[in-house]
Amino acid sequence: MIDVKNIEKSFRDIKALKDLSFTVEKGITGLIGPNGAGKSTTIKIILGLIHPNKGEVKLFGKKFSSKSLKDIGVLHEKCTFPTNKKGIEYLKYMASLKNVSEKEIHETAELCGICHALERKIRGYSAGMIQRLGLVDALLGYPKLVILDEPTSNLDPLARIEFLKLIQQFYQDYNVSFLISTHILPELEKVCDSVIILNEGELLECGKIKNLIKKYFREEYIVYPIINIKGGKIKERNGVMIVEVENKKEFLDSVNRNYVELLYKKDPNLEDIFIEVLKCSEK
């Protein structure tokens, strides 16, 4: 859906992006990295809002053009709305720009759970309702891809979960793909299947989460007590002692022989992947 090739971008003497290349396939993809990693700059280049010093972007297999942007919806990080207008007034105006019917406005608003608030002034909306309004706008016209820049940063934990469930629903039921830029990882891993990891303007990793787990991690278990364990390395992660298995037969034999209790298998999460990728990039 998106091909980014050898993108470089500088702002005066600061290199914001350094020879950046990646592909976004159909599905839900997370664009992750610390603050200042280059996520927002990358999105602006994809959308044609700023131009790279070098490299190119292809959308849906074709060179960037305003025509291809019609298949992309977007919700910016700091999106402002006319607070003196009703939700329906704002959406009707945006729909007129996209040649979308009023029927589609109400259908999309219903799916996003905001239909009940459309006759109210936007100034009375909560942060969660504002984001839902922005999502309705981004989804008008049935785009192939929706780009969300830090969509949950101002939401409380429950609102984040509900918002991400909406994204998952639109992908599963309506085949809309999403590229989600964020630095909040725990909720993101519940919906995305692929990630692009940036740091200081460079690409560190890109791919399916399950493949990155295989690349960076072995099977891990939490056991008690940790005595005479063979077939694995003992390491600490987030204050917990974990056995990283290197030889499963030898490990299980030592567990049984020493009456060690297997508490549970520790599966790496997206935050573990992110930390491990950053560590490897620093070596």
Is the pLDDT confidence value at 166 over 60?
yes
Is the pLDDT confidence value at 112 over 80?
yes
Question: What pLDDT, on a 0 to 100 scale, did the predictor assign at position 54?
Answer: 95
Give the model's confidence band at 101: pLDDT under 50 very low, under 70 low, under 90 confident, else very high. Answer: very high
The domain limits of the chain are: 2-214, 219-267
Question: What pLDDT, on a 0 to 100 scale, did the predictor assign at position 225?
Answer: 64
Across 30-52, average pLDDT? 92
Report which listed range, 14-28, 69-83, 212-226, 235-249, is most confident. Answer: 14-28
Tell me the whole-structure pTM to 2 decimals. 0.83
Share of residues in the chain with pLDDT > 90 (%): 51
Least trusted range by pLDDT, from 97-101, 128-132, 221-225? 221-225
Residues 225-262 pLDDT 10s: 676 677 777 777 667 777 777 777 887 777 777 656 65
Question: What pLDDT, on a 0 to 100 scale, did the predictor assign at position 47?
Answer: 92
In the CATH scheme, what architecture does the domain 2-214 have? Answer: 3-Layer(aba) Sandwich (3.40)
Across 147-173, average pLDDT? 88
Report which listed range, 172-176, 212-216, 224-228, 247-251, is most confident. Answer: 172-176
User: Per this entry, what is the length of the chain?
Assistant: 283
String of DSSP letters for 181-226: EES-HHHHTTT-SEEEEEETTEEEEEEEHHHHHHHH---EEEEES-
Q: Which residue has the higher pLDDT, 68 or 121?
A: 121
Is the pLDDT confidence value at 113 over 80?
yes
Report the distance separating Cα 279 and Cα 121, nearest Å.
48
Structure tokens of 111? 């799916």
